[in-house]
Structure 1
Amino acid sequence: MENAPAQILIVEDEPKLAALLGDYLKASGYAWHWIADGREAIPAIQSLQPDLVLLDLMLPGRDGLDICRELRSFSDVPIVMLTARVEEIDRLLGLELGADDYICKPFSPREVVARIKAILRRARSNAEPHSTALKIDSTTHHATFNGVALDLTPVEFRLLSTLAAAPGRVFSRDRLLDNLYLDHRVVTDRTVDSHIKNLRRKLEQASPGQEPIRSIYGVGYKLEID
């Protein structure tokens, strides 16, 4: 039995643009659905469980950044943001909220499909079982790196688990902070830097010469590991 085609949800208020994207997606073997109102986005995502969301920034009812923020509170579905805004602050904000990619209008539908293919290929690779240097057991709060047990604090364990849940994705300090403390205490973003420093030291002790946690200047951190 052949695998079902990947489901793409288009959240876009321009019918002609949505139809054009849909035609290109269908020609590339994808199934697609379309909604035009931002208020319908979250219910549609929860109902359809798409493999990827094409999310316009400017929508009636609710804007794309707000939708992205809520979506990232319960799902890691890949998000590609579509927008006519080219200001750098909007670009950075969209990515900090957890978007996987950001495409400015006007764009080529072929480029959008190419980016979708790349993101879904990466998502499948991350989801496939494969041997990895990093092992995390959330039930026992136990982690190893290259076979060496890591002596992590509860905060360090949650930080590493968050980064490892989406290898290669950049996490902003604010998003990492949201996952660090269960009591939601008020702390500064420098707290993340301090925990990252300690976590890096412990990973280095377990496997000298490897630095799997990378700093992305002005944005945050990501985990790169085989």
Structure 2
Amino acid sequence: MGKRILFLEDEPVIQDVLAEYMKMQGYDVYSAADGEEAVKALTEDIFDMAVLDIMVPKISGLEVLDFIRDKYPDMAVIMLTALGDEQTQVRAFNAYADDYVIKPVSPIILLKRMETIFRRVKPSARTVREGLFIDKGAYQACYNGEPLELTLSEFLLLETLYDEPCRVFTREQLILHIFNDDYIGNDRIIDAHVKNLRKKLPQNFIKTVIGVGYQFKQEV
């Protein structure tokens, strides 16, 4: 799979055309139409680069850039905008944008800019999400970028707890999340999975709530 690109652009035609060119170049593109959607994608997935329009609904591209630099400082970022004033450009570069492209832009030129930035980025500098991260699409849990060797049942158990950290799940509820209605047997199977998970996790992320069940415990 190619490098993962977050593309924030609210103009449908521009979004479709540029995203298609990126895909033709081998990039794996996630398109967002507003800043809130972009931030949500950043919390749920790992990207190699963000291409951000500035003037988008809800949260501006500059605010998304600030979020990236706070959470994922090594991620490559290109600002893509119709705003050509010096103040806006300085604001973007002060937030450590890697490049600033003024629209309208040739798709070929944008791809060349992206290629140039990727040549400068060392593999070790690619974004590594610190702490525990659940990659739902790949059915993989990672800690500080390193994959954890979990069985499917262990992954689904961890994912269920991770998604709702304020909720305490009973064993019966966890069985339904993991096995649906296919499991017949003792609900203590959950205890066995929790025991195995605790051995594989770098921290004890699973809290036992006596008399009820289990809950995700935030990192300390």
> TM-score with structure 1 length normalisation?
0.53
1:24 equivalent in alignment to 2:24: no
Counterpart code for 1:107: V
Letter in 2 for 1:97: A
Structure 2 match to 1:55: 52
**1:1-226 equivalence runs, <5 A:** 4-75=1-72, 76-124=74-122, 127=125
With 118-127 and 56-65 compared, the bigger mean Cα shift is at: 118-127
Structure 2: which amino acid aligns with 1:17? Answer: I
What's the offset of the Cα at 1:46?
2.2
Identity %: 35
Q: Which has the larger radius of gyration?
A: 2
SS in 2 for 1:72: helix
Aligned-partner SS, 1:117: helix
Q: Which amino acid aligns with 1:65?
A: L
**1:42, distance to aligned residue in structure 2 (A):** 1.4
Match of 2:80, as an amino acid? L
Q: CA deviation at 1:125?
A: 5.7
Counterpart-to-counterpart distance in 2, 1:72 and 1:127: 13
Q: Would you say the 8 A contact 1:12–1:56 is kept in 2?
A: yes
Aligned to 2:153: none
TM-score, structure 2 normalization: 0.54
Paired letter, 1:63: S
Q: How many residues align?
A: 125
Which runs of structure 1 show a deviation greater than 6 angstroms over 4 or more consecutive aligned residues?
A: none
Amino acid in the other structure paired with 1:22: A
CA distance in 1, matches of 2:37, 2:23: 23
Q: Which runs of 5+ in 2 are unaligned?
A: 127-220
Q: What is the alpha-carbon root mean square deviation over aligned residues? A: 1.5
Tell me the amino acid that sits aligned with residue 121 of structure 2: A
5+ residue gaps, structure 1, are 129-226
Conserved 8 A contact 2:6-2:38: no
CA distance in 2, matches of 1:7, 1:55: 14
Amino acid at match of 2:66: R
Superposition deviation, residue 45 in structure 1? 1.4
